[in-house]
């Protein structure tokens, strides 16, 4: 067997269907592109139609099979409606990537009930509802991959994380509970933990050059993250190669968390 054939067999996503929330920008867009180029049929779920159209147009122009669904993940009704629409495109997903999130981060001393409710709804409850919708089907079919994108704030107090950190900590616990429930049936559930990544979600911090430089200096690589840094990790976790990796938090952060 040639090395190309071996790697293709190990990591190919041919025949798989993936749903990527928040897949029209930042880390989600990079992951959607990686999964599609690895062979999966990808449905990108987000709010803004212009970004969704641009993302899927780029993928289809590269010969990938991709489609988009616009949905509101801030309400249970919106999540459920978006899930059913997404499942009707290429069929029930084998891979679910929860990357959609909101970055409302007032410190605890300024936190309001509305910000708390909205943050938990999008960052934690939506992944829970999508898992409940698609996880049992994956288990019944004997294969599934659930990947959540979390944060350094899931593990440590960092830049006044407030409710955002709570939501991401809960998301890592959700992955472990999902793994306990469904991994005996071939469904792995893991999280990718970014460092500081230059994306639209971090636009507020990215406008402060001194802060950006200080965060880069805290890493072992000497730079902040880019969305494309998550492509390989996502393909690995989504593939057959990661069948014995579940319930884990995998840091893709340039060593920030251990420096």
Nearest to 133 by CA among 179, 87, 170: 87
| Biggest CA-to-CA distance, the chain | 60
The pair phi, psi for residue 75, each rounded to 5°, is -130, 155
DSSP code for 203 = H
128 flagged as catalytic: no
Q: Is 52 exposed, middle or buried (0-12, 13-18, 19+ CB in 10 A)?
A: buried
Nearest to 172 by CA among 110, 116, 98: 98
- Cα 171 from Cα 121, distance rounded (Å): 11
In degrees, to the nearest 5, what angle opens at C-alpha 209 toward C-alphas 253 and 212?
10
Q: 217-220: long-range contacts (C-beta < 8 A, 24 or more apart)?
A: 218/256, 218/259, 219/195, 219/253, 219/254, 219/255, 219/256, 219/259, 220/254, 220/255, 220/256, 220/258, 220/259
Active site residues: 164
């Amino acid at each position: 067997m040639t090395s190309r054939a071996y790697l293709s067999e190990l990591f190919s996503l041919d025949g798989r269907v993936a749903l990527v929330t928040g897949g029209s920008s930042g880390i989600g867009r990079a992951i959607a592109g990686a999964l599609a180029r690895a062979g999966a049929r990808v449905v990108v779920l987000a709010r803004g139609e212009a970004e969704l159209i641009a993302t899927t147009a780029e993928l289809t122009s590269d010969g990938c099979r991709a489609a988009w669904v616009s949905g509101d993940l801030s309400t249970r009704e919106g999540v459920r409606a978006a899930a059913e629409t997404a499942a009707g495109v290429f069929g029930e997903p084998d891979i679910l990537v929860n990357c959609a999130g909101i970055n409302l981060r007032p410190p605890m001393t300024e936190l309001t009930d509305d910000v708390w409710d909205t943050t938990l709804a999008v960052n934690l409850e939506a992944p829970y509802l999508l898992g409940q919708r698609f996880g049992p089907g994956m288990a019944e079919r004997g294969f599934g991959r659930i990947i959540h994108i979390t944060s350094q704030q899931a593990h440590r107090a960092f830049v006044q994380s407030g409710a955002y950190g709570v939501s991401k900590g809960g998301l890592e616990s959700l992955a472990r509970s999902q793994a306990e429930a469904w991994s005996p049936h071939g469904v792995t559930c893991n999280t990718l933990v970014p460092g500081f990544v230059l994306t639209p979600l971090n636009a507020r911090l990215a406008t402060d050059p001194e802060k950006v430089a200080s965060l880069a200096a805290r890493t072992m690589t000497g730079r902040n993250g880019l969305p494309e840094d998550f492509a390989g990790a996502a393909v690995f976790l989504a593939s057959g190669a990661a069948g014995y990796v579940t319930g884990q938090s995998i840091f893709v952060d340039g060593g920030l968390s251990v420096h």
